[in-house]
Amino acid sequence: MNNKLTIILVSFFSTNRIKKILNKINSNNKIIIVENSLSNQFKQYIESNYKNVKVLIPKKNLGNGGGINFAIKKIKTRFALYLDIDVTITQKIIRKLYQVAKQKKQWAIIAPNLRGIKYKREFFIKKNFCPNISEMSFVEGCSLLFNVPVIKKIGLFDEKIFLYYEENDLFFRCLKKNKKILMLNNVYVKHTNNSGSDKKYDKYIDDIRNWHLMWSKFYYYKKNFSFLRGILETYKSFISSFIKTIYYYLIKKKEFKKYYNRFSGLLNSYIGKQSWKRVKIRHENI
C-alpha cells in the first residue's frame, strides 16, 4: 500500500456509484470516503466489504469542498488524490500522477486531462512547459492530486461554498501564492458528469444544484474581485431566471423549479445570505 498517497471520495447517498469506483481501484490503495448522508449503515457496509477503505462521518453535510477538507485534515500522507465518484480511472493513471508528483516541485495541484474536453486557450499559463505537462490557471475538478502540505498553507477549500466554484476559488489562491497547477496532457480520465448521488435521488438533487450554482457564482466573483464584478457576471442570469420562473409557473413544473431555484440562489447571494439550502432524503436499507 502506498504510504504517501491517499485517495479521497465524497459521497451522498451514493452506494451504487461508490461500489463501481471502488471495484475499479486496486485494493492496495488507501481510500477515505466522506459520507455526507451521515449514514453509519453505509460506513459499516463499505468498511466490512473493502478492507482498504475508511469511511468518515462528519457531524453535518459538508458539501463537496468541505468533505474534501474534512478528509485532508485526517490523512497522514503527503499526497491526496480526490476523485468524483463518476470518474473512470485506472491504476496506471494513478501511478503516472504519483510519479509526476514525486518529480516536480512548487506545485499545489496535478490533474489528468479530461476525455471529451478541449480547454480554452486562456486556461493555459504555459502549454507544454515541460514534456507532456502544461501549467494551467484552471482544470476540471473531477480528479485532483493535492500536495497536502502546500494546500494546507494555501487554506484548503472555502467552506462557505457548498457546491460549485469551490475549485475556482482554490485555484485562484494557488496562483496568487505562485503555486503551480499542472495538467498531464497525454493522461486522460473520463467523467460522466452525473450527480454524485445514485440516480434514484436525482430529482432531489437537481433543485440543490441549480440553487448553489448561482449562489456560488456570485459569491466567488464578489469574494475574489468585487461586488460589482459579481453583478456583471450574473445579472443576465438573474433577469433570465426571473422571467423564466414566471413563464414556466403554470405550464411546466420541472422547468419552473429549475429557474426558481436559480433565481432564489442568486437573490440570496446578492443580499449576503449564507448558502443555506440543503436536500433532505430519507435513509434506506443498503
**DSSP letter for each residue of the chain:** --TTEEEEEEESS-HHHHHHHHHHS-TTSEEEEEETT--HHHHHHHHHH-TTEEEE--SS--HHHHHHHHHHTT--SSEEEEE-TTEE--HHHHHHHHHHHHH--SEEEEEEEETT----GGGEEEEEEETTEEEES---TTEEEEEHHHHHHHT---TT--SSSHHHHHHHHHHHTT-EEEEEEEEEEEE----SS-GGGHHHHHHHHHHHHHHHHHHHHHHHT-HHHHHHHHHHHHHHHHHHHHHHTTT-HHHHHHHHHHHHHHHHHHTT--------------
In a domain, 282, yes or no: no
Residue 20 sits in a domain of what CATH number?
3.90.550.10
Q: Are 94 and 81 a contacting pair, CB within 8 Å?
A: yes
In a domain, 22, yes or no: yes
Task: Specify the length of the chain in residues.
Answer: 286
Helix, strand or coil for residue 138? coil
In a domain, 276, yes or no: no
* 214 in the same domain as 171: no
CA–CA separation, 129 vs 134, rounded Å? 6
Number of domains in the chain: 2
* 241 in the same domain as 183: no
- Nearest Cα neighbor of 144 from 94, 186, 192 is 94
- Nearest Cα neighbor of 180 from 257, 103, 239, 234 is 103
pTM of the complete model beyond 0.75: yes
* 178 in the same domain as 266: no
Rg (CA), the chain: 19
* 242 in the same domain as 165: no
Say how many C-beta atoms besides its own lie within 10 A of residue 148's C-beta: 21
* 49 in the same domain as 183: yes
Phi, psi torsion values for 39, nearest 5 degrees = -85, 110
* 253 in the same domain as 175: no
Query: In terms of residue numbers, what domain contains 111?
Result: 5-191
In a domain, 278, yes or no: no
Chain CA centroid to CA 186, Å: 22
- Among 131, 163, 191, identify where a domain stops: 191
In a domain, 285, yes or no: no
* 219 in the same domain as 264: yes
* 239 in the same domain as 109: no
* 161 in the same domain as 94: yes
| CA angle centred on 192, ends 186 and 194, rounded to 5° | 145
Query: In 51-91, where do the E strands start and end?
Result: 53-56, 79-83, 87-88
pLDDT tens series, the chain, 286 aa: 578 999 999 999 888 889 989 988 888 899 999 999 999 999 999 999 999 999 999 999 999 999 999 999 999 999 999 999 989 888 999 999 999 999 888 899 999 999 988 999 999 999 877 889 999 999 999 999 999 999 999 999 999 999 999 999 999 999 999 999 999 999 999 888 655 555 666 666 788 999 999 999 999 999 999 999 999 999 999 999 999 999 999 888 889 999 999 999 999 999 999 999 988 766 555 5
The pLDDT of residue 189 is 92
* 26 in the same domain as 113: yes
CA–CA separation, 123 vs 162, rounded Å? 24
Beta bridge partners of 130: 133
- Among 142, 157, 191, identify where a domain stops: 191
- Return the C-alpha cell found at 194: 452525473
Say how many C-beta atoms besides its own lie within 10 A of residue 121's C-beta: 7
The pLDDT of residue 14 is 85
In a domain, 179, yes or no: yes
Query: Which residue is listed with cell 471502488?
Result: 22
The pLDDT of residue 62 is 94
* 160 in the same domain as 113: yes
In a domain, 286, yes or no: no
In a domain, 284, yes or no: no
Q: Are 187 and 115 a contacting pair, CB within 8 Å?
A: no
* 174 in the same domain as 51: yes
The pLDDT of residue 269 is 98
